[in-house]
Structure 1
Amino acid sequence: LHKGVLTASDKNTVRSIRFLDPCLFSYEQPTYPPYPTTSATYLLVEYSDGVQNLFTTCDGSQQIPRCISEEPENAGDIQTLLQVIPNLPELMIYVKKNGNMYMKDIITGADVCQIVLPPTHQIQTPWSPMFAFGNEGNTLYIKGEGTEVDNAGTVSDISGIFMFDLRSYHVLDTYRIRKHMKKDLSVFTTQEQRINALLQERIQQQALRTFRLQKRWGQLKSEMNIIQQANKMSLKPGSPRKP
């Protein structure tokens, strides 16, 4: 990764920093040398005032971040949790301070859908809600808590685990059908790794080298036949001769 000092904010503190999946970054890797010389991805920075910015790891310090979440006017709209959905690297689930849970597009910052519990329950706490993904990110489990009053007027606490089948959310279909090429966020930093990669490429090219030589010899034979036929034609009586 290129080294650089990123200017985050001069008035707020950074609350969290996370590297996103490199497959989201449309950066063409060089085809030669046969080992990765650089890798790039997005860096999601979250601030104490609720602002979220996207940086890149390839432009050094001279870059303007992309803001995907402005400072909310209402303190209850501050996003308190961010987690990428398994197998859907473009989507992230988050919880607002008021307890509402949403899914949003990481690159654009736009909300995609809201996860709603029954009216009798709410998320345990917006700062550390209890939830988990299952079935390769297709199922979401959330623990909800609430209170109920019986006929005698006694109030008691209740809780339950709620399951959401995310495959039934058709708004997510456009994200599921997208194919992302897996990219490793790594580079070969030692001389031994680079030499081994070059030797492996050289060995793989040996079989192609024999084929190319045979093809070239065949072309030379064809070219020689054409030259010989041209010479014979020039020696025939009545054939035009070059001055």
Structure 2
Amino acid sequence: MEAAFKAEKPRGETLELSSAKKLPQNTNCLACSEDGRYLSLGHSQGLSVWCVSPLISAADWLEDRLEITSIQMTRMAEAAYLLGTIDDMGVARVFAFHCDKIHLLSVVNIMEDINKRSVCLTFELSQGGHYGAATISCNSAIWLEVHHFPSETWLKELQTTVSQAQESNSSGDKDVKWSPLSVPNKIQPPEISAGMSLKGPLKDIFPHYLAVDVDTRRHEWEKHSCNTNAEKPKQANESTRCCTQHFLLPCPLFPGDSKVKSLPDLPVAVCVWWSGSHYLLQYLLQKAQKNKPDVEPTPDVLWPNAKEILCSAVSRCTRYIALGLNNALVCVWDRQSGSQLSVVSTSAAHSAFFRIQFVDYCHVSADELRLLVVCKSGEIHTVTTGRGTQSCTMLLTERPKDSGYLPTITAPVPFLQSMFLVVQRNGKMFIQDVINKAPPCFLIPPKTHLIATPCNPVYALNTKQQTLFIRGNQDSSYRESSKKVSQSQLLIFHFGATDILKRYIVSPPSPQQESLSFVTLEETCNRYLQQRALSVDERNKAITQTWKRLQDTAVTAPQRHSGAEAN
């Protein structure tokens, strides 16, 4: 496969490697800060933070026999950054990078009892470092913990620590006692029990949709148990269920958000869905009650869906939530109106959805939204929808005949208009145009290197610097390779350095521009009434067709009944 890939010449323009730099041993993950100034690396000896310009090491946190497998970075203040990591043992940690030094602030899942060892499956920081969401598994049980970070207190402690270290000429902070994490909001997969009771508007609708999910799983288990000696549904599903969550920013006029007074960039809620479920739940972010830390939070909003949720995505402003459903359905929810913006059926009925993403970096209005849907078969579809517009779908790439051409990465490139990055299993990289289909540019690594682990590439996109960082391993089959070339290198591609992509580069929107998407209540009502007025003919036609079908059914049903009795 590698020989065939090397022999194949890309059809189109190529973007050559800009530069490369030696990586620490077994670099497993990369992450860029939002301001583009720093690149964080997780490896087999701990983690490192590099300055992007120039590309030099700024700080290291090293520990023997500790391998970081996941890392995330966000800016907490002007010169302070938070890092969230997971190691190969499933332990999540929170670090701070401040004044060219990395500080370990907290361990999220401390193992106190060897018999109750908890493993962190996913760990996500909210932008700005105010919250952290960790999916925890322990003894076949799984739940989501949402922590509220004491960011302001940590900043003061960091400044104090730096001042004391300068006065005493000390570089260590082992004796520093950082403020602990707050008691987390513990969200578990919802279940129906005899004593279940809910308050508010969800009292009647919530148990109904829970019953739909439970009955669906029970039906699948009963069908499976006809041929095998399967365990009970609860035991069979709880250990395999997983959780997907997204932090949500304030969205005016939405019922749940009005209860929380917050800054525009401070998350106010988290939306959650569990595998095998038909519904999306929203929980308001609030500190757990000190006198009742074990009280499970109640969802404030429920979005019911006709089919099982397979994947999800949230727009950058978090106003729109896109869900990829079973049976090739795409559903877009508008948080501002609290209703479905659209439900679109695609032509991918023969293959389940694998990933869904928003193509555009910013959505100033709901008039047109573009989505990218990746199927497990390797097909890629685009969905264009919006308020008052005719939704349409387009097959962007067909199902590949060779498994080497299956896409492992389909990442939107925010600084390129309607473009996304594709990396295939065979190591081939290119930029795909959503509108014109044809790839305008191929990314070519050096002859001495191949993309490392193309089934799960280690990469990071720097939006501010318009740069792709991706790990490459030395190609042992290349005869001209020198021993001086590092075994593993950071390959760097600058998109703005070539005339091929300059015409596609766009500037990111300012916060003021993004706030335009939140219109007033009067404008929302006017838009809704206009949409209803424009669609009156369509709705009347649909009603007429429905009544005709009912009349035809009423005529044919007695005839079938009498015929059956005669037989």
User: Comparing both structures, which one devotes a greater share of its residues to strand?
Assistant: 2
- How far apart, in 2, do the equivalents of 1:177 and 1:12 lie? 34
Contact 2:361–2:414, Cα closer than 8 Å, also in 1:
no
- How far apart, in 2, do the equivalents of 1:58 and 1:196 lie? 16
Percentage of pairs with the same residue? 26
- How far apart, in 1, do the equivalents of 2:342 and 2:524 lie? 25
- How far apart, in 2, do the equivalents of 1:121 and 1:141 lie? 14
- How far apart, in 2, do the equivalents of 1:139 and 1:12 lie? 33
Larger Rg: 1
Structure 2 letter corresponding to 1:11: H
Q: How many Å apart are 1:175 and its aligned residue?
A: 0.8
- What does 1:76-155 correspond to in 2, within 5 Å? 76-134=404-462, 136-146=464-474
Give the TM-score normalised by structure 2: 0.28
Gaps of 5+ in 1: 30-35, 199-243
- Within the candidate set 497, 500, 506, 1:171 is matched to 500
Give the 4+ runs in structure 1 shifted more than 4 A.
Answer: 147-150, 177-188, 195-198
- What does 1:157-196 correspond to in 2, within 5 Å? 158-176=487-505, 193-194=520-521
Alignment correspondent of 2:355: 16
| CA displacement, residues 95-145 of structure 1 (integer Å, 9 cap, x when unaligned) | 011111111212222111111112221111123211223361422222111
Gaps of 5+ in 2: 1-333, 335-340, 526-567
- How far apart, in 1, do the equivalents of 2:443 and 2:355 lie? 23
Q: How many Å apart are 1:194 and its aligned residue?
A: 1.3
- How far apart, in 2, do the equivalents of 1:40 and 1:95 lie? 27
SS of the aligned residue for 1:172 comes to: helix
Contact 1:22–1:185, Cα closer than 8 Å, also in 2:
no
| CA displacement, residues 71-118 of structure 1 (integer Å, 9 cap, x when unaligned) | 223221222211122321322111011111111212222111111112
Alignment correspondent of 2:343: 4
- How far apart, in 2, do the equivalents of 1:165 and 1:58 lie? 33
Alignment correspondent of 2:149: none
Q: How many Å apart are 1:64 and its aligned residue?
A: 4.4
- How far apart, in 1, do the equivalents of 2:398 and 2:515 lie? 31
Contact 1:40–1:56, Cα closer than 8 Å, also in 2:
yes
Structure 1 letter corresponding to 2:353: V
Alignment correspondent of 1:57: 385
CA 1:85–1:5: 2 relative to 1, 3 Å: closer
Q: How many Å apart are 1:172 and its aligned residue?
A: 0.5
SS of the aligned residue for 1:111 comes to: coil
How big is the alpha-carbon RMSD for the aligned residues of Structure 1 and Structure 2? 3.9
Give the number of aligned pairs: 179
Contact 1:87–1:137, Cα closer than 8 Å, also in 2:
no
